[in-house]
A and B are shown apart, each in its own frame.
Chain A
């Protein structure tokens, strides 16, 4: 990583198969390291940071370069963040078209204290959880998501331009966008619903393990569509309202994944401890589902999880962590019985000089293979 937040030039070599623990006092850059790894895999920050914030003050760009091995073949990911301009990414020295393309090569599971918002916050976080899992297990989901998003933006623009008036021209074009939205929206909702069905038992299992003998209530997951019947009919029925408010009021972007404890709404009627546990269970369940359906376990990134859990639950989490490569930061002592493959004091990294052979720019693009136009 070069010029990523406070990190000037850092090279991190985690254990290839086990857990690598990043240690250090507060403010030494543990979470930043994890964020950089997460960025290389998802082109997003799990802390919700903007690209400008992720470029070191005084630098104009940051670079994260990751080498990994997947199914026995090496892969090189390079992500460049530009403070004022377009950020780019390359996979094996070819430009990455969409972040979904990267998700097919490297999946990550992130646990972080902000995950509590998955349970406490609005539906968008829960939809995103489902969508990320969908992209990891279904090769067509990434394009579908981009498409639905684009139709929604086109429809919103049309509604704004109509200004509440319903001329024949507006109606004709609206019908076309509604048709596109209905087609994509139904497919997406069906995909999410199926995924929620497969996740349900895994979440329950993970929750019971983490609860360590307490709160043995059944966790329920229900995908809730924002419409009934065919989406096209619902869009027609909502048309008058949509035109007046200039927003699309039904569709996959208004759906929710409702979480409950024996029928009680987890968002409003559960303790913070239960909610935290449920958020972790959701992540663990997605991790197991992706590992089972793709045959490759995602890389686990655990940011400061133990500081939020009581000792019983921390021990329970350690026992239920899936095997595979993991990166973990902690400011508190690790629970007993935790298997650690490598310990890396972050302070030792940040003082390292720039590694030879790693320059600070994206690699030149590789020549395209023959046969590709």
Chain B
């Protein structure tokens, strides 16, 4: 039905997350139609991301050229606070808030025995070494509110507390601009649990 190169492109696109066979076909035909330089720009970008990016030597965020990531090489960052996240995408989310001035540590996953992920598969040793050497005063566990991350946070807290600094985790609650009436009972329940004194 398709020529071999087109078939190959559709198959490759179809493996991308969130792309079904129909979308893959649409994208492939689109690429077939666009000017050659546009298609090559996409191909170059893919090659570049694979060839030039590495993991940050300090925090395991995405970095360029075998060195440290943009956050770690920024001198203005507060070295006493380390925010532990699961995945580089979480860094993007926290950075967007503009509220956090410290550094990160990417764990590259969460404890999940069902998927064969134990502490050895995560960057736990590196975290312990860092907080020991860098003069850390607070570790923020930037946890996704699910069971695996709660377990991971507890595991880290057990390892980190002996160092004697603050270990904190994110509060869980209601989205800003949301409506109480639309909040599901779990979120609202957690928000009630984590309620705070109102300063008057």
Q: Are A173 and B147 in contact (CB under 8 A)?
A: no
Residue of B113, B154, B155, B159 touching A154 (CB-CB under 8 A): B113
| Residue ID in chain A nearest B185 by CB atoms | A139
Chain A contact patch, size range: 20 to 34
Given contacts A173-B155, A369-B182, A372-B182, contact A161 B116 (CB under 8 A): yes
Could you tell me if B113 and A176 are in contact, using CB atoms closer than 8 angstroms?
no
Query: Closest chain B residue to A104 by CB distance?
Result: B185
A372 touches B178 (CB 8 A): yes
Assess whether B151 is in contact with A154, with CB atoms less than 8 Å apart: yes
For residue B150, CB closer than 8 A to chain A, the reply is yes
State in angstroms the CA–CA spacing of A155 and B154 once bound together. Answer: 15
Within 8 Å of chain B (Cβ to Cβ): is A153?
A: yes
Contact A172 B119 (CB under 8 A): yes
- Cα of A161 to Cα of B111 in the assembled complex, Å: 13
B186 at interface (Cβ–Cβ under 8 A)?
yes
- How far in angstroms is the closest Cβ of chain B from A160? 8
What sequence of 0s and 1s flags, for each residue 56-94 of chain B, a beta carbon within 8 Å of any chain A beta carbon? Answer: 000000000000000000000000000000000000000
Q: How far is the CA of A155 from the CA of B151 in the complex (A)?
A: 11
**Is A205 interfacial (CB 8 A cutoff)?**
no
Q: Is A47 an interface residue (CB 8 A)?
A: no
Give the distance to chain B from A243, nearest Cβ to Cβ, in Å. 13
Bound-state Cα–Cα, A373 to B184, Å: 12
Bound Cα distance A157, B114 (Å)? 5
A369–B112 CA distance with the chains assembled, in angstroms: 35
B120 contacts the other chain (Cβ, under 8 Å)?
yes
B189 on the A face (CB < 8 A):
yes
- A176 engages B116 (CB within 8 Å): no
| A371 in the interface (beta carbon within 8 A) | yes
Q: Within the complex, which residue of B148, B150, B158, B185 is in contact with A172, where a contact is CB–CB below 8 Å?
A: B158
In angstroms, Cα B153 to Cα A176, docked, is 9
Query: Which stretch (A143-151, A266-274, A337-345) binds chain B?
Result: A143-151
A71: CB under 8 A from chain B? no
CB neighbours of A140 from chain B (8 A): 185-186, 189
A131 within 8 A of partner (CB): no
Can you list 27 pairs linking A and B with CB atoms under 8 Å apart?
A140-B185, A147-B147, A151-B147, A154-B114, A154-B147, A154-B148, A157-B113, A161-B116, A169-B120, A172-B119, A172-B159, A173-B113, A173-B118, A173-B119, A173-B151, A176-B111, A176-B152, A176-B158, A177-B113, A179-B154, A180-B147, A180-B150, A180-B151, A180-B154, A369-B182, A373-B175, A373-B178
Residues of A within 8 A of B (CB): 139-140, 143, 147, 150-151, 153-155, 157-158, 161, 169, 172-173, 175-177, 179-180, 369, 371-373
User: Residues on B close to A: CB < 8 A?
Assistant: 111-114, 116, 118-120, 147-148, 150-152, 154-155, 158-159, 175, 177-179, 182, 185-186, 189
Closest 8 CB pairs of A and B: A157-B113, A158-B113, A371-B179, A157-B114, A176-B155, A176-B151, A372-B182, A176-B154
